Amino acid sequence: MIRVLVAGLGNMGRSHALAYHHNPEFEIVGLVNRSVPSNLPEELKGYTITANFHEALARLKPDLACIATYSDSHADYAVAAMEAGAHVFVEKPLATSVADAKRVVAKAKETGRKVVVGYILRHHPSWIRLIEEARSLGGPYVFRLNLNQQSSGPTWEVHKALMQTTPPIVDCGVHYVDVMCQITDAQPVEVRGMGLRLSHEIAPDMYNYGHFQVLFQDGSLGWYEAGWGPMMSDTAFFVKDVVSPNGAVSIRMPESAKSDDIDTHTKTSLLRVHRVGLGDEDLSMSDEPGHQELCDREAAYVARAITEDLDLARHMNDAVQSLAICLAADESVRSGQPVKL
């Protein structure tokens, strides 16, 4: 049994804790949060909550640390966990700088500990199929991906908290850039970004809307857009297209989809494959997993990585690369200049 310490009890932390609670391969030895959340699920109320991660790590000596805290603590917590002998599951992004992300990877190689990064789309059947279908069409590719959320109330509060350290194009952008990189396999060469602050409720040096273009060595190009806040439009908030000379693959959202619902951005209605000269094929995805089920699948993968000694070198390198692209986009937003990679 894998003894796990879960740090951070926000939306993702609670979902990961529930996944470990229900999976017989894990035993939760403690939870870490600065305070006791008022909305803690019943299943998690029996566990002791500690305010200090490092104290809990030293006292409980877990086999695995699940890090779902704010982004600026990810790298330090991951390194501390590995130095204490624990494997690591860390939510995306892996760090807030490329140097810190590489520091985590170096520590994993030094200690022999496993590091799994929370790229939840890698466990999603629709996205796995989209990648397969896109690769079968052949490149070069145009990637058209976005994630806009007309957030208000508690969701807007979460977004404002996230923006204390990370802009939207980095926070969720790493997911979709990772998909681009899995499809093309080509090296990214340049990033061009733009962004705008649309709310006085966030810091003057932060922006809650942005988009960027990434150019790849094989000629492929990607566009990603992300915006958070009550001012965002709920029209065209969900675009998930991959286009090639031979056709296109698109994820189609349900008619009832809402932009601020977390399942909207993971659950899909169908996958449409368009082949030039051959027409369209619609692949139903009606029985696919929801958000919690995806977290359950992630937990199962973490167990496999540890018990089967999986080689995670490519997984970690991919996490560094997607982060580097998104951070280059943020640099481009702030400088007004393209960034060479």
Structural domains of the chain in order of their starting residue, each with its CATH number: 2-117 (3.40.50.720), 121-289+324-340 (3.30.360.10)
Residue 308 predicted with pLDDT over 50 = yes
- Mean pLDDT for 270-298 is 91
Least confident of 158-162, 178-182, 268-272: 268-272
Token look-up 């807007």 returns 156
Residue 234 predicted with pLDDT over 80 = yes
For the stretch 312-332, pLDDT in tens is 999 999 999 999 999 999 999
Residue 267 has a pLDDT of: 53
Q: What is the pTM of this model?
A: 0.90
Token look-up 């982004």 returns 71
**Residue 269: pLDDT band by 50, 70, 90 thresholds?**
low
Helix (H, G, I), strand (E, B) or coil at 184: helix
Distances (CA, A) of 135 to 132, 141, 280: 5, 9, 17
Range of 109-113, 237-241, 253-257 with top mean pLDDT: 109-113
Residue 246 predicted with pLDDT over 50 = yes
Q: How far apart are CA 160 and CA 166, in angstroms?
A: 10
Tokens found for residue 63: 């086999």
For the stretch 180-201, pLDDT in tens is 999 999 999 999 999 999 999 9
